[in-house]
Structure 1
């Protein structure tokens, strides 16, 4: 999963052309589908109109950049009327009030999380007491411009840090009393695996695109060791060397 803050500000890089196309300035929300429909791209040419990158056209999202196969994936708003309507709706999600269907206010949204397909899977919220909670996206009825409407049940909101489990009730001689609630943390290995799976899918897609391509120039490690010569074929071994040497992005930007 990625938080919106992890995407904002990233450079957008064309894999086939090896150039930067701009940076991510904002996210276009499709409230009816509960997803990020596109990224707003700042290419420094604001006078020519806003540019959009459909989420479906993204090849990968990493720590440094969002990658696409070519610059033609970036659209002008004037040629994408469907996205223009979503832009006009101006759904932000963050800082919207959390209100139940019956009109109770429960807090506000401070962040949201999306999967590798752009689907919003959860919202991080701050309740009226200032506590941090997580709201599963499937419990949201409406993502609005100023208000996020959810179902009434408070149980839909859980603490972000620990899930709650209940032990079987203790059976004393005279009366039955429930055992104390024990909070258990998600095992570290399971949490890491859950976080790595979407990122692995993105990496695999990127690697498949690069395999078989030719390097447009020689790529070397910081110590001068050749990873691949100019014109050399990009193989699994080359990709592994580039990744270990921290030259994966540089390699991605220099293919033909």
Structure 2
């Protein structure tokens, strides 16, 4: 399963015209459903409205791109009740007993559903280098705060 950082930077291509609509710049996560709801596209333009593609509109993921049916899949409004992927990175992760498990570094995503199955966490630079980052499976209730995520 890919991580959020592996999705960021991928192009989104229109199947009807074969043109690149933009590259994924950020992801919108819905804490209630536990899934990705949309992607923010970067198109290199200044002073433009945000370009958002609903995650369900992404039809295919090849080795290096997503496709959508056409330019009509692009909107300008992020889905309500979502948080940006970049806002989730750096949150403290605690279990229900208050024990700190680490710092959220990334989301582990199931494709094509967009369901977030786990969080990749850092337990410190030395541990990351020696043991690698850990993945905490999201099971049961997950409470997302402004500074902390509580699992368990």
Q: Give the TM-score, by structure 2 length.
A: 0.84
Measure, in 2, the Cα distance between the counterparts of 1:85 and 1:133.
28
2:63 matches 1:63? yes
Check the 8 A contact 2:94/2:102 in 1, yes or no: yes
Structure possessing the higher relative contact order (Cα contacts under 8 Å, 6 or more residues apart): 2
Unaligned runs of 5+ in 1: 152-256
Measure, in 1, the Cα distance between the counterparts of 2:81 and 2:44.
23
Greater per-residue strand proportion: 2
Q: Which residue of 2 aligns with 1:121?
A: 117
Q: Tell me which structure has the larger Cα radius of gyration.
A: 1
> Where does 1:210-221 land on structure 2 (aligned, <5 Å)?
none
Measure, in 1, the Cα distance between the counterparts of 2:27 and 2:146.
14
Q: Give the TM-score, by structure 1 length.
A: 0.52
Match of 2:101 among 90, 106, 111: 106
Unaligned runs of 5+ in 2: none
Measure, in 2, the Cα distance between the counterparts of 1:90 and 1:64.
22
Q: Which residue of 1 aligns with 2:38?
A: 38
- Alignment RMSD, CA only? 2.1
1:138 Cα shift? 1.5
Check the 8 A contact 2:26/2:84 in 1, yes or no: no
